[in-house]
Amino acid sequence: MSDAEQRSITIEDLSRQLVTTPNKTRRQIYTIRSEGIDIPVRVIDVPGTGAADAPLVFVFHGGFNRAQPYPFFYGSRFVGRPDTAPRTVIALCDPTLALSDSLRFGWFAGAEGVDVPGAVRTLLAAFVAQIAPSRVIVTGGSIGAHAVLTHARELPGSMVVLANPLPRIDDYHQPSVREYFNLCWPGHPARAADVPQVVNDASLAYSDMTLHNEFVILLNATDPHIYRQAAPMLANLGGRTAEPERILPVSYFFPEHAGHAFPPDELTAWVDAAVMAPEPTARMAALTREKLRAGEARPARAKATRDDPLDIELAAQLVRATQEART
Amino acid sequence: MSAHPYAGLPARAFWKKAIAERHFLDLEGLGTPIRLSREDRVATAGSCFAQHIGNRLQAAGARYLDYEPAPTGWSQGNARKHGFGVYSGRYGNIYTTRQLLQLAREATGADVHEPVIWERDGRYFDALRPSVDPAGHARPEDVVLLRQAHLEAVARLLDDLDVLVFTLGLTETWEDRRTGRVFPAAPGTIAGQYDPASIDFVNLRHGAIMDDLTAFHALLKARNPKARMVLTVSPVPLTATASGEHVLAATTYSKSVLRAAAGDFAADHDDVSYFPSYEIITAPAAAGMFFNRDLRSVNGAGVDYVMKTFFSVLEGFEPDAAQGTDIHDLDLICEEGALEKYAG
């Protein structure tokens, strides 16, 4: 029996404990039954007493190496610090992954007869109802973005913070997609587009302008998925350019994090900014200011104007070593 | 319906099936099989991009040759800065086929030349590998001593290797008018003096590159009949061109000629293979995502994908998971990058 199973709790009890005994819940893992499905959650952070209405952050993870034991959580860096602001941070683990020890990607999309999206929807709504936070932020990177987008639209006014989002199942790495459908939807074609219960493109719904969310989308410009994932997602969100203050794509080049990986501190800084930005207007500008405040200036590399004394010494060492070797 | 030569061809033969309808990171069947066993002694040489191949082969457990190791006690960073551990010999970047042939002929005694020594601020550099000593040496005779030791190491390397992976980088080079020797960097860029009366700009054409490869291959096989070669073309565009063309057009010319020559040479020789690293990085389906923001240097994701594909075509070699040194942290050493400072 895992630790998560040992701490089964109802959403009502956990919400009460978050308020009454916050220090006992911080960093703890619980299993909450929702719609008949056990969903592991980890309380990453919780505000001190008297700040129960602080912003609430939901975190969805991406793919995980199954060498790690289930359950998995992302977002341990999203804790409040003295220079940021209090918040409740709840990380969710995809219960789809409990169906097989080899499954690395589940998109929080469930399986035949296992309605994970419905269970997560009920759970998030219950948390929001019980905690009554001043603001809701939903965040995740990679394939976690699929769940973020699936559920943020059910939380009116929530803020979405994404990193290298992969909202389209069928446009992901094909062997992983096939593995998921073969294991979880046997008898169906191995494509989300052919399984009515699975949403292929979680960003598509946001072409509906009545959905009132705000977006910060962090893109590493060297992410190899950008053209099949983030680009069509931005097209779906494109109607929101009429309200440009509600969508902020941030494209960076990070040579040290080339590809799909993303510097975790960058995402953390934007989550901090989403927690801290003042209400109610010009939030994106405020976010940018907060992010810049949270970020660190990178030192410029000094240009050498003369030979490095160390290089001169090493050259002399090399000559001596060569002379010795040849005598 | 009548039969035609495209009927029954595999999916890899059709752009729509092989590229347009696939995620670019799921490409299959790219590259032809390359024979490499764990017992094969592998050496690398070439332009900057070849450094990645050597680093990754070493990390993957290949029997990688390093015939000029750094002196004992040097840190990896200092060693690489001084040209150690970058390739199998301390020759620096070998951008052109002419440079490769020239080195092999000098190392094996087929050509005998006085060393060419460049000076900068009272320090002395080996003009045929000026990047390996970033601060040069105190005396010209130090350069001569190190060059002699270097040539002996290269000769042993040519005798012992089983597989040479050579990455063709440039067609443009600078040739000494008197001796015909070519340099990896123009005089005056890293050290030395540019004298238009004694140095010529040369842009090697397809025929010249084929001649260089043919001569090198013959020399190598004469000393080491079991040797095989793997040719690749660097996807890294030119930092600068002296051809008079726009640097984009000059890059396309240079890479096209190199790609054609490498493919033709491999097709003509059973013991020479071509691996399409150039195509992987520059393909339209990659949409430039494998380049850093300078749109020139290749990012880690690109190197990862090239090497993943490279290992997938090897027959008889299963790579280890990379361990120890973080190969992403190794800086590349490029003389050609020195031209950046003249861009203004």
pLDDT at B338: 53
- The rounded distance, in Å, linking the Cα atoms of B39 and B58 is 13
- The rounded distance, in Å, linking the Cα atoms of A258 and A60 is 22
Contact assignment for B293 to A221 by CB distance below 8 Å = yes
Contact assignment for B135 to A315 by CB distance below 8 Å = yes
B90 in A contact zone (CB under 8 Å): no
More confident residue, A298 or B57: B57
Query: What are the sequence ranges of the domains in chain B?
Result: 33-113+156-336
B119 in A contact zone (CB under 8 Å): no
What confidence tier does A1 reach under pLDDT thresholds 50, 70, 90?
Answer: very low
pLDDT at B336: 56
Chain B residues within 8 A of A228 when measuring between CB atoms: 23
More confident residue, A193 or A209: A193
Q: Choose the mutation target among B25, B296, B305 for the interface with A, i.e. most A CBs under 10 Å.
A: B25
pLDDT at B331: 46
B299 in A contact zone (CB under 8 Å): yes
pLDDT at A280: 47
More confident residue, A284 or B272: B272
pLDDT at B303: 86
Of the ranges A66-80, A259-273, B221-235, which one carries the lowest mean pLDDT score?
A259-273
Whether B325 has a pLDDT exceeding 70, the answer reads: no
Calculate how close chain A gets to B79, using CA atoms only, in Å. 9
pLDDT tens-digit profile of B249-301?
A: 999 999 999 999 999 999 999 999 999 999 999 998 888 888 877 888 888 77
Q: Choose the mutation target among A170, A227, A319 for the interface with B, i.e. most B CBs under 10 Å.
A: A319
Contact assignment for A224 to B305 by CB distance below 8 Å = yes
Whether A175 has a pLDDT exceeding 90, the answer reads: no
H/E stretch holding B91: none
What confidence tier does A301 reach under pLDDT thresholds 50, 70, 90?
Answer: very low
Instruction: Using CB atoms, pick whichever of A224, A312, A316 lies closest to residue B301.
Output: A224
Contact assignment for B299 to A260 by CB distance below 8 Å = no
- Quote the radius of gyration of chain A (alpha carbons, Å): 23
Cα–Cα nearest to B103, from B70, B134, B68: B68
Contact assignment for B149 to A258 by CB distance below 8 Å = no
Instruction: Using CB atoms, pick whichever of A228, A315, A322 lies closest to residue B133.
Output: A315
pLDDT at A246: 76
Mean pLDDT of A157-165: 92
Nearest residue in A to B329, CA atom: A256
pLDDT tens-digit profile of B23-80?
A: 777 888 888 999 999 999 999 999 888 888 888 888 899 999 999 999 988 998 899 9
Contact assignment for A307 to B145 by CB distance below 8 Å = no
Q: What is the mean pLDDT of chain B?
A: 90
Q: Choose the mutation target among B26, B76, B141, B142 for the interface with A, i.e. most A CBs under 10 Å.
A: B142
- The rounded distance, in Å, linking the Cα atoms of A313 and B138 is 10
B300 in A contact zone (CB under 8 Å): yes
Of the ranges A45-59, A271-285, B82-96, which one carries the lowest mean pLDDT score?
A271-285
Chain A residues within 8 A of B342 when measuring between CB atoms: none
Chain A residues within 8 A of B328 when measuring between CB atoms: 256
Strand order in the sheet with A214-220: A29-34, A37-45, A88-92, A56-60, A136-141, A159-163, A214-220, A247-252
Contact assignment for B301 to A255 by CB distance below 8 Å = no
pLDDT at B2: 62
pLDDT tens-digit profile of A208-261?
A: 777 788 888 888 877 888 888 998 998 888 766 666 667 777 776 665 666 787
- Find out whether A11 and A37 touch, Cβ atoms under 8 Å: no
Chain B residues within 8 A of A312 when measuring between CB atoms: 123, 135, 138
A285 in B contact zone (CB under 8 Å): no
Contact assignment for A222 to B299 by CB distance below 8 Å = yes
What confidence tier does B147 reach under pLDDT thresholds 50, 70, 90?
Answer: very high
Nearest residue in B to A227, CA atom: B287
- Find out whether B189 and B174 touch, Cβ atoms under 8 Å: no
pLDDT at B322: 47
Q: List CB contacts of B308: < 8 A, sequence separation 6 or more.
A: none
ipTM over 0.95: no
The CATH architecture assigned to A3-325 reads 3-Layer(aba) Sandwich (3.40)
Chain B residues within 8 A of A174 when measuring between CB atoms: 22-23, 26
The β-bridge partners of B45 are B166
Is the backbone of residue A247 left (phi > 0), alpha (psi -120 to 50) or beta?
beta
CA angle at B291 for the pair A257 and A173, rounded to the nearest 5°: 65
Mean pLDDT of A253-275: 78
Whether B93 has a pLDDT exceeding 80, the answer reads: yes
Chain B residues within 8 A of A171 when measuring between CB atoms: 23
Cβ-based contacts under 8 A for chains A and B: 94
For residue B148 the two structure tokens come to: 């002699």
pLDDT tens-digit profile of A37-89?
A: 999 999 999 997 767 789 999 999 998 878 788 999 999 999 988 878 899 99
pLDDT at B151: 97
H/E stretch holding B308: helix B300-313
Contact assignment for B289 to A326 by CB distance below 8 Å = no
More confident residue, B210 or B342: B210
pLDDT at B342: 52
Chain B residues within 8 A of A256 when measuring between CB atoms: 328
Contact assignment for B299 to A258 by CB distance below 8 Å = yes
Instruction: Using CB atoms, pick whichever of A253, A316, A326 lies closest to residue B292.
Output: A253
Q: List CB contacts of A186: < 8 A, sequence separation 6 or more.
A: A112
More confident residue, A259 or A144: A144
- Find out whether A106 and A97 touch, Cβ atoms under 8 Å: yes
Strand ranges for chain B from DSSP E = 34-35, 41-46, 63-64, 117-120, 123-126, 163-168, 172-176, 182-183, 199-203, 228-233, 272-274, 314-315
Calculate how close chain B gets to A284, using CA atoms only, in Å. 26
Mean pLDDT of B222-237: 97
For residue B337 the two structure tokens come to: 């990058």
Q: Choose the mutation target among A173, A298, A314, A317 for the interface with B, i.e. most B CBs under 10 Å.
A: A314
Whether B204 has a pLDDT exceeding 80, the answer reads: yes
Calculate how close chain A gets to B326, using CA atoms only, in Å. 12
A175 in B contact zone (CB under 8 Å): yes
Query: What are the sequence ranges of the domains in chain A?
Result: 3-325
- Find out whether B55 and B86 touch, Cβ atoms under 8 Å: no
B289 in A contact zone (CB under 8 Å): yes
Q: Choose the mutation target among B299, B304, B326 for the interface with A, i.e. most A CBs under 10 Å.
A: B299
Q: List CB contacts of B116: < 8 A, sequence separation 6 or more.
A: B126, B127, B128, B176, B181, B183
Contact assignment for B292 to A317 by CB distance below 8 Å = no
Calculate how close chain A gets to B71, using CA atoms only, in Å. 7
B82 in A contact zone (CB under 8 Å): yes
| CATH class of segment(s) B33-113+156-336 | alpha beta
